[in-house]
Amino acid sequence: MSLAAPFTDIFGSPPTALASAPGRVNLIGEHTDYNDGAVLPAAIDRYVSVALAPNDGSAHRVRSTRFGDTTERPVGDPKRDDWSDYAMGALWKAGALGWCTGGMDVLIDSDVPDGAGVSSSAALITAILRAAADSAGVSVDPADIAKHARAVENDYIGMPCGIMDQMAVGLARKGTALALNTRDLSYEVVEIPAAWTFMVIHSGIRRELADGRYSVRFEECRHAAETLGTAALCLLTDAQKDAVAALPDTLRKRALHVTSEHDRTLAASAALKAADLDTFARLMSESHRSYSEDFEASTPEIDALVADAVDSGAKAARLTGGGFGGCIVVLVETAIAEAWITAFLDRHPGTWRV
């Protein structure tokens, strides 16, 4: 929907900028992004859209089409565990960059589900930063927008995430994946073969990155890296890889997942470019096993969904996103995709296609 007319109705004047960003699904490469590793996300056909304009006041007014009321908060207001925090964080960053100097009016519309592991927050922050830059007449490289969006998550929200989500929602487009090196931000946009279909299915288990478990895994990876004498857990020397076996059990398992996931993601990117379906499927399956057993970020319910997906004809399936709930991504041959998803959802009425 176009937000120009409803924005004008709500705030009394037209927006100065409109922008949007898609959600994303990570095909493979979990918790490698903040360990300087490889990731392979893809854009999904769901978007966060925003309309924005300065209001000449000292407060931001934020409204979502999902809610009936406008939230008004002072410029520079810190996080308060409210739904509007991500919008406020994006506006805080836009102000720091000189893209807005006072209060802003923002209208948000989204069909990207929250708590599903498909980057609704990164899409919202990215869309607002894009709109704020456009409103200020500033041209910004998409990779720089991604860096600013990550800073919002890290510095305002307090979420120690990597940069995968922000790069994915800023650079990927429907039908493509982003083969990204998070160490130097080099990337390649790769076309997904027409014979492959990736289904994103919500498990019915809502996940909250802010509930602490994501941060625990982040700290475990940091501790493992420090013990091994590196700042990049994905890029160990042969001697450091040998030393992983001597780590305390929890840190050993976290390091095993991260290092092997980096290698799997590089191999999966090559398989995608070569349209090698069987190799890509095998790597996805190995990724889920590692994510569940070594990183311990899955749940019994999600493990059961993944197993049933493969048993019922999918080439592979895995938990995607930060873990502990949200969505699975399933690789199905396009020729059977629609029949497969109908039968799968019928067997699992608490799930839905994203």
In SS3 terms, 22-53 reads as EEEEEEECCCCHHHCCEEEEEEEEEEEEEEEE
Using DSSP, state whether 105 is helix, strand or coil: strand
Options 36, 105, 109, 165, the catalytic residue = 165
165 assigned to active site: yes
Cα 12–Cα 13–Cα 17 angle in degrees, nearest 5: 135
Asked whether 295 and 221 are in contact (CB, 8 A), the reply is no
Asked whether 66 and 50 are in contact (CB, 8 A), the reply is no
Q: Which helix (H) or strand (E) holds 100?
A: none
**Which token pair is 11?**
């705030």
> Using CB atoms within 10 A of its CB, is residue 276 exposed (0-12), middle (13-18) or buried (19+)?
middle
CA 348 to chain centre: 25
| Separation between Cα atoms, residue 135 and residue 84, nearest integer Å | 20
Gap between the terminal Cα atoms of the chain: 19
**Which token pair is 334?**
């396009």
| Separation between Cα atoms, residue 7 and residue 248, nearest integer Å | 55
Contacts of 2 (CB under 8 A, 6+ apart): 18
Asked whether 81 and 144 are in contact (CB, 8 A), the reply is no
**Which token pair is 304?**
């059961």
| Separation between Cα atoms, residue 260 and residue 265, nearest integer Å | 9
| Separation between Cα atoms, residue 157 and residue 80, nearest integer Å | 9
Half-sphere exposure of 53 (CA within 13 A, CB side): 13
- Would you state the torsion angle of the CA atoms of residues 207, 210, 211, 214, taken in this order, to the nearest 10 degrees? 80
Residues serving a catalytic function are 165
